[in-house]
Amino acid sequence: MEFANKPIDPLDRRSTPIVPPKLTIKTAEKGDEVQLTPFLEQAFFRHLHADWYEPLFWFDEPNAVTLISEREGKLAGALIAAADPPPAAWVRAAAFDYMGLSRNQIKIQFLEMIERAAAILGQQGITDLCWMSPRRWAEPWLVDAGFRLHTTMVTYRKDDLRLPTLPSLPPEIKVRPVLPEDMRTLALMEESAYDPIWRHSQRGLHKAWRSALVFDVVLWEEQVVGFQHSTRASQHDAHLARITIHPDFQGRGIGSHLLARAIRQYERMGIKHVTLNTQAENIQAQKMYNRFGFKPTHYRWPLSTLTLSGSLLNEATD
């Protein structure tokens, strides 16, 4: 098989997908953004990861790869994957258009791009590649690429801002708005509290702060031990994006007080509804959300992961 740019050693696999004729796959270069930006917005099959980064941010970034495919000089596909922080990477964007190709040919192209991205990221020490999207078009292709369901994200919604009765916080606990100099501490806390796929980097947290609706930290005797971050989903809707408590301070009701403080601030801002996402198996968090009047919705987001060491692609034929 021939490719447009210098070859990349693939991972071991049972079979090699055959890229459709006259279709070339390569690492994107400066100048490709001119086509790539509208393509990511207009392609028939599209996926944009929900985070604070624009897809093209990842050009020339470490622990990142941007692949494109071309047919007769026009974009037919694109895939952007990046780890921030390592060792787990996410597919940040993916887009594919028909361009005279069959659906099965697009699938083969998708598998080849996943294989190449996995090889590049694996050589950089990345251990997992993750995909999460409310759009379901890629699900059967992800299975063929070796992804496995890691968890399901459940969306909860609260249609009022009433608060439960909570015990008073001890005097050594204080809550204040986040400061830029807190970001390094929060990133270290994420590392302590979460498995790699869930962590945010210091840079990512700083970007979250710049677009936040509410971003508070909680201090225990002047030590930052937790935080809460929310975004505005619409004029009257807030989204609780994150509550993180250091493992040494969990189980003391701190998360409940952070959530209550956030809801009071929502009310002052004219917010009427609140949503959040949590893992289906996170029963402890769901108990807290239920106590606050959140109700599960029918929205379910599968989160799939590909282990980059020894991953295999299932057979795909044209």
pLDDT digits (tens, 9 = 90+) for 176-234: 999 999 999 999 999 999 999 999 999 999 999 999 999 999 999 999 999 999 999 99
301: left (phi over 0), alpha (psi -120 to 50) or beta: beta
Measured CA to CA in angstroms, residue 105 lies from 11, 100, 111, 116 at distances of: 21, 10, 10, 17
Neighbour tally for 221: CB within 10 Å: 10
Spatial distance between the Cα atoms of 259 and 251, rounded to a whole number of angstroms:
14
What are the pLDDT digits (tens) for 266-307?
999 999 999 999 999 999 999 999 999 999 999 999 999 999
Quote the pLDDT of residue 20.
67
Over residues 135-155, the mean pLDDT reads 96
Q: Which domains does the chain have, with CATH numbers?
A: 23-151 (3.40.630.30), 161-292 (3.40.630.30)
Spatial distance between the Cα atoms of 192 and 195, rounded to a whole number of angstroms:
8
Task: Please give the DSSP secondary-structure letter assigned to residue 60.
Answer: T
Sign (positive or negative) of CA dihedral 57, 89, 149, 251:
negative
